[in-house]
Amino acid sequence: MNTIKTLLVDDEYLALNLLEEFIKKVPELEAVGKVKSPIKALEILNQQAVDLMFLDIQMPTLSGNSLLRTLKSPPLTIFTTAYSDYAVEAFGLNAVDYLLKPFSFERFLQAVNKAKEQLNYSNRVVESAELVLPRQSRDFFSIKVDGKVVKVHFEDILFIEGLKEYVRFVCRDARHVTLESLKNLEELLPADNFLRVHKSYIVARNKVQSLNGNMLEIGAFKIPISRSKREEIVQAIFFE
């Protein structure tokens, strides 16, 4: 993969310096800007290409959420904040990930790898990607990925994430990205086993371990849920 041009936006120097140190440890990342002001961040974004932005939420003059809303074609964005209350809104803005301060290098790297995966698929042509559902008596479907046909068993799926025109299947021991829509998958997958919990996520009901605020926990993964459908989702996953 080519170098990932990265912009750091936070009104605290300590946070900026920590991010910069973490970025130096990842060869593919290059910090093209480190700014405390969202207005300065806008200037940089208007002047040069940025692939990935680390963005604090609570900042003077303009919040990180508001900054992102002003951009017609925003870079991939990882939110960084000390407040967990903004998580659902952040994912609603199609954020790649949400880092709750203080975060470790391991957690930072997990978010970066997710961004790299998205960049890898958005920057290339995907040829004849499609999903094929076999006979209903089967418990799997097949997807075309990178010229191969891959069998994905329903029981292995932890959750499915929408990545604009792609979807990412996160399974027990594998990750698959293919050209498909969550809406189509929602109709194809058995409703008894899978549930759309957010505009960008479908989860396997029996893989959800706990609920923390408005975030479902599946192993180390945290999945946001729709606030407007919170009661319905909690009932379906934990009490039905």
Q: d(Cα 70, Cα 100) in Å, to the nearest integer?
A: 23
Domain boundary among 94, 122, 150: 122
Q: Which of 26, 2, 48, 69 lies closest to 35 in space, CA to CA?
A: 48
Domain count, the chain: 2
In which residue ranges of the chain is pLDDT below 70? Answer: 1, 84-93, 121-137, 145-147
This prediction's pTM: 0.58
Do 172 and 102 sit in the same domain of this protein?
no
Tell me: the pLDDT tens digits for 125-139? 344 345 555 545 478
For β-strands 194-198 and 148-153, DSSP reports them as unpaired
Do 53 and 107 sit in the same domain of this protein?
yes
Domain boundary among 88, 122, 156: 122
Q: d(Cα 180, Cα 77) in Å, to the nearest integer?
A: 22
Question: How far are the Cα atoms of 103, 110, 126, 155 from residue 14, in angstroms, in the given order?
Answer: 13, 21, 41, 44
Do 14 and 110 sit in the same domain of this protein?
yes
- Residues spanned by the domain of 200: 131-239
Do 135 and 233 sit in the same domain of this protein?
yes
Do 100 and 177 sit in the same domain of this protein?
no
Domain boundary among 83, 102, 122: 122
Tell me: the pLDDT tens digits for 28-62? 999 999 999 888 988 888 888 889 999 988 777 77
Q: What is the CATH number of the domain that holds 63?
A: 3.40.50.2300
Q: What is the CATH number of the domain that holds 161?
A: 2.40.50.1020
